[in-house]
Amino acid sequence: MDNLSYNPRSRRLRQPATPRRRQNPKSIAAQPAKPTPQSKVESTRFRLFLVWLILVMGGVVLATNLFRLQVTQSAKLRQQAREQQMIFLRPFVPRRPIVDRTNTVLAIDRPVYTLYAHPKLFKRTKTEVADQLSPVLRRPVADILKQFDRGNSGIRIEYALDEWMADRITHLQIDGLELIQNQQRLYPQQDLMAGVLGYVDVEHQGQAGLEFSQQKFLERSVKAIRLSRMGNGMLMPDSMPGGFLHVDDLRVQLTLDSRLHRVAQAALREQMKRYEAKRGTVIVMDVKDGSLLALVTEPSYDPNRYYDFPVERFKNWAITDLYEPGSTFKPINVAIALETGAIKPDAVFNDEGQIFVDGWPIEDFDFSSTGGRGPLSVTEILQHSSNVGMVHVIQQLKPKVYYSWLKRLGLGQITGIDLPSEIASRTKDKEQFLESPIEAATAAFGQGLSITPLKLAQLATVLANGGKLVTPHLVRGLYDTEGQLHSQPTLPPPRQVFSPATTQAVLKMMEAVVADGTGKPAQIEGYRIAGKTGTAQKASADGGYYANAKITSFVSIFPVEAPRFVVVAVIDEPQGGDAFGSTVAAPIVKTVMEALITIEQIPPSAPPPPPKSEATEQPAAAETP
């Protein structure tokens, strides 16, 4: 056996010993000493302690975070979870219709359709599709083809198609056309009452008029449906409440009469065209409760296509713009003077034609041709619309008393009508009014103070209903199809301002204005009518007055023996040398009153009582300022 040796003592074969490698002393010294059993135990304990410490610290952190999540932030996190997992969906419900007092529909929701085209899905050529759509949409084929070329899908071809047109398109059975249904507000009367109704935008939100101010009446209350979001993002209803899609049959009924509105609008437009006026308004108010039968403003707009009109058309300037009323304010001043006892109904004042107050000249409008008229009764002052005579009347009051009465009549306040954006009438501040005599003098004939046409109508009702200040309003209430009242706006109670004796005296004077004064164009045979004309200079925004701009107006109360209605017409900036309240505004009021007589079936007036005999009539005492 090669490389093996025999040891007789061990009796074993053994390999020859390999020579040992000499180790470097330095390498021997570098080797660590073998750990002792004691050191191994200490190392193990340290590792266990370290792991235990890490576990404890982790547990503390987890417990702290758990406390934060479940206690400190639980409410917030619960809310976030609900927002992420639950959706409350309010089903779309049409707005309530609006009708006039005769149940004529003024505004209603209707289903309409938007037509989309997806040319990539057409199985016919674009030209063939356009040829079939052209007679339905009433548009040229070339225009439809231009729309098809805008893209391959999702092209809006037409908006607000009615059901009849949508049915015709469906029957064409053209692949690649899509009809999406939505709701649209329809105004069947078009521009007839746009200034009152306002309009609804594409998001079905009211933006003007009653559509904006009467949201609580027009929007139906519907319970929202709760939907839960599933893990894959799908929405599932938690429950389906019974009757949640029930739509009530209530409608908002107005006090307006569309028949009267149409007559007033036509008469106003005719006069505006004849005199090239800038704008105009006609107001008809029931004197008992302030309900409005007509509130016409021109120029108007079509609320079905509101986007085609300038934004200034959307406001109702009869309640948003101020003007100086001029002579139509004179009967109010006469009532103040009578109520305070400053004058008597038979008082007489001298009309010099022109006077100076605090260095300022005041003259009658016809002074250059007529001159002074001499002694005039209060009735004659109104008949001739004498500015000088009215200054003498107001000078019988202390300025402080006169100013307090203007405030008592609501100047400086809004009327409270149920339309948005009404602006308050204005007077000079008290200090300026009391310190400067010219302020009371100009207010005597309706200049230097500013009101809205609606405020003028409200003040006229005070003279017509025995001295009560009522709140103008348009909304009668919520009614069902059977005519049952379900809800009604709450109005402030009438406020007594003048005594019935005062208003009766002023009405008699205003009747003389129509019978023998500047209001003759408003006469209607067989009816007693009280009225007052007004032709006022138009105030400039920079102060002073425009040289060639004026506002004409006429206010009437009829029938005098039992007043029921006030009719006001105001026309802004009529052109021509013959443009006055008597020539421009009075004929409009006459036309409207004739329509009222027919609609309300007002019988002819009884003849006025004969004048007292000279033997029993009290002599008129001449008064001078």
Torsion of Cα atoms, 565 then 571 then 577 then 582, to 10°: 0
- The token pair that represents 272 in the structure block: 């505006």
Provide the pLDDT confidence category of residue 621 given band limits of 50, 70 and 90. Answer: very low
Angle of the 500-516 helix axis to the 453-464 helix axis, nearest 10? 110
Q: Which residues pair with 225 in a beta bridge?
A: 89
> Residue 405 and residue 453: Cα distance in Å, rounded?
20
Q: Residues near 278 by Cβ (< 8 Å), separated by ≥ 6?
A: 572, 573
Model's pTM, two decimal places?
A: 0.79
> Residue 363 and residue 501: Cα distance in Å, rounded?
31
Provide the pLDDT confidence category of residue 245 given band limits of 50, 70 and 90. Answer: low
The reported pLDDT for the residue numbered 344 is 95
Domain segments of the chain: what residues? 110-183, 259-600
Longest dimension (CA), the chain: 186
Mean pLDDT along residues 321-334: 95
Q: What b/e string do you get for 571-589 counting C-beta neighbours within 10 Å, with b at 16 or more?
A: bbbbeeeebbbbbbbbbbb
The correct answer on CATH 3.90.1310.10 for the domain covering 110-183 is yes
The reported pLDDT for the residue numbered 622 is 31
Q: How far is CA 614 from CA 346, 610, 618, 622, in A?
A: 15, 12, 8, 17
Nearest to 297 by CA among 208, 412, 213: 208
Mean pLDDT score of the chain: 86
SS3 96: coil
The reported pLDDT for the residue numbered 90 is 57
- The token pair that represents 100 in the structure block: 């006039």
Q: Dihedral of CA 379/380/385/390: which sign?
A: negative
pLDDT tens string 269-292: 999 999 999 999 999 999 999 999
Instruction: Report the 10 Å Cβ neighbour count for 341.
Output: 9
Q: What percent of the chain has pLDDT over 70?
A: 85
DSSP state of 587: H
> Residue 439 and residue 201: Cα distance in Å, rounded?
46
In the annotation, is 327 catalytic? yes
Q: Which amino acid is at 557?
A: I
Q: Are 427 and 440 in contact (CB under 8 A)?
A: no
> Residue 296 and residue 585: Cα distance in Å, rounded?
14
pLDDT tens string 286-307: 999 999 999 999 999 999 999 9
- The token pair that represents 446 in the structure block: 């309706």
Provide the pLDDT confidence category of residue 11 given band limits of 50, 70 and 90. Answer: very low
Q: Are 391 and 352 in contact (CB under 8 A)?
A: no
> Residue 8 and residue 13: Cα distance in Å, rounded?
9
**CB-neighbour burial class of residue 408 (10 A; exposed 0-12, middle 13-18, buried 19+):** middle
Mean pLDDT along residues 28-47: 68
Task: Calculate Rg over the CA atoms of the chain.
Answer: 44
Q: Are 254 and 106 in contact (CB under 8 A)?
A: yes
Which numeric CATH code is attached to 259-600?
A: 3.40.710.10
Mean pLDDT along residues 12-30: 50
pLDDT at 6 over 50: no
Nearest to 258 by CA among 109, 103, 110: 103
pLDDT at 68 over 60: yes
Place of tokens 């340290």: 46
pLDDT tens string 500-554: 999 999 999 999 999 999 999 999 999 999 999 999 888 777 777 787 889 999 9
Provide the pLDDT confidence category of residue 71 given band limits of 50, 70 and 90. Answer: confident
- The token pair that represents 538 in the structure block: 């138009």
The reported pLDDT for the residue numbered 243 is 47
Mean pLDDT along residues 133-161: 90
pLDDT tens string 556-596: 999 999 999 999 999 999 999 899 999 999 999 999 999 99
Provide the pLDDT confidence category of residue 67 given band limits of 50, 70 and 90. Answer: confident
The reported pLDDT for the residue numbered 28 is 47
- The token pair that represents 69 in the structure block: 């999540």
Q: Are 527 and 538 in contact (CB under 8 A)?
A: no
> Residue 236 and residue 86: Cα distance in Å, rounded?
9
> Residue 338 and residue 467: Cα distance in Å, rounded?
12
Q: What b/e string do you get for 12-39 counting C-beta neighbours within 10 Å, with b at 16 or more?
A: eeeeeeeeeeeeeeeeeeeeeeeeeeee
Q: Are 336 and 449 in contact (CB under 8 A)?
A: no
Element (H, E) at 432: helix 430-435
Torsion of Cα atoms, 458 then 605 then 583 then 356, to 10°: -60
Q: Of 327, 377, 425, 556, which residue is the catalytic one?
A: 327
pLDDT at 224 over 70: no
